[in-house]
Amino acid sequence: MSAVRSSDSLGVTPILTKLQKDCATPLPVLRHVADAMAADMRAGLAVNGSSDLKMILSYVDTLPTGNEKCLFYALDLGGTNFRVLRVQLGGKEERVITTECEQVSIPQELMFATSEELFDFIASALRKFAQKEGGKFELPQGRTREIGFMFSFPVKQTSIKSGILIKWTKGFAVSGTAGKDVVACLNEAMERQGMYMQVSALVNDTVGTLAGARYWDDNVMVAVILGTGTNACYVERADAIPKLTKRMQIVNTEWRAFSNGLPLTEFDREMDAESINPGEQIFEKTISGMYLGEIVRRVLVKMAKVGGLFGGSYVPEKLVTPFALRTPDICAMQQDTSRDLEVVESVLYDIAGVKSDLSARKTVVDICDTIAKRGGRLAGAGIVGILQKMEEDSKGLVFW
């Protein structure tokens, strides 16, 4: 570990000032983002391919009522981890009788492996989880176990039980899956594991979140995911969807691809250019957990190299590694309220391998605060855009 200490270099100040200026989100910028989000939603609903927002129809035209009874399984594949869950529902009176859940980390090499390797790993974990079933979990005789597949990547839904993968996002680059039905991929993997469950529904994580919330509250209309990646869905009236002739529909906006009017920095542009999907998913790259830590890391590298943040032009070797700094790290540093910013000191030592003085730690907090606040405000503006679109199309639907 290096013991280089920071000096209060004047070279840091202009970099921080420009970062704060480029990340600024005054009310006019946020209003523009909200208006542009609403406009892109309308365009995406009208004609496929006419907007950055794909506005994918989910084929979910009914939502939970609370009357549901039985044993159900769920598989949630959403990012660097996936979850397997079983729940016993008892209707209006008993509601959720009992539930069990396990979270499984996906080895990084499988994020770049083949479709068969990834889905075999998932099916194997599901099989092991299903073998532990017991206790209060009870399946009526003669009924097949049903599983809901929550798949948090863009798919072209072809039915409630099938969907063609459009592309991998959130750092995944699995080969042999694009253009295939992801439910078929899961079914084939389960068969290879010697197990059978009936996939009753394929949904995006936002749709699953909306359905889960609607189980408890009939007034829920919008669901937003802010995690490794980001997305949003909402309840849309059929007559507001020119490309649809059916009744009410849950629409998956795929807002991660939104890009209109976003305040971007040189660090955002560099990160995007070096990503596996340059020029795509810009909204996600400014507000989601996959990328916020990386943006801060890039700022720190420049401040170290040009501004002397850690003394001279010293750049910690560990800090040069892409994605070495994670979003939980910047959250911890941003929320550090200790007098000497001890959490910041610890994170910098563990991640970058340097000892820092209080001046450097204060600068790091300012960077984290700038990037985190921009992300939070842009996410809020996106939500306002969805509500704005819903309200304009149906008076009294949202604001009453």
Are 158 and 164 in contact, with CB atoms under 8 Å apart?
yes
**Burial (CB count <10 Å: 0-12, 13-18, 19+), residue 27:** exposed
Q: How crowded is residue 162: how many other Cβ atoms within 10 Å of its Cβ?
A: 16
Buried b (16+ CB within 10 A) or exposed e, 80-98: bebbbbbbbbeeeeeeeee
| Catalytic, out of 76, 120, 170, 268 | 170
Residue 205 among the catalytic residues: yes
Are 54 and 167 in contact, with CB atoms under 8 Å apart?
no
The Cα 124–Cα 130 span in angstroms is 10
- Could you give the angle at the alpha carbon of 52 between the alpha carbons of 27 and 283, nearest 5°? 50
Furthest-apart CA atoms within the chain: distance in Å: 74
Are 250 and 235 in contact, with CB atoms under 8 Å apart?
yes
Q: In 3-state terms, what secondary structure has residue 309?
A: coil
The Cα 295–Cα 211 span in angstroms is 33
| Catalytic, out of 40, 76, 181, 205 | 205
User: For 122-171, what is the HEC assignment?
Assistant: HHHHHHHHHCCCCCCCCCCCCCCCEEEEEECCCEEEEECCEEEECCCCCC
Which positions are catalytic? Answer: 170, 205
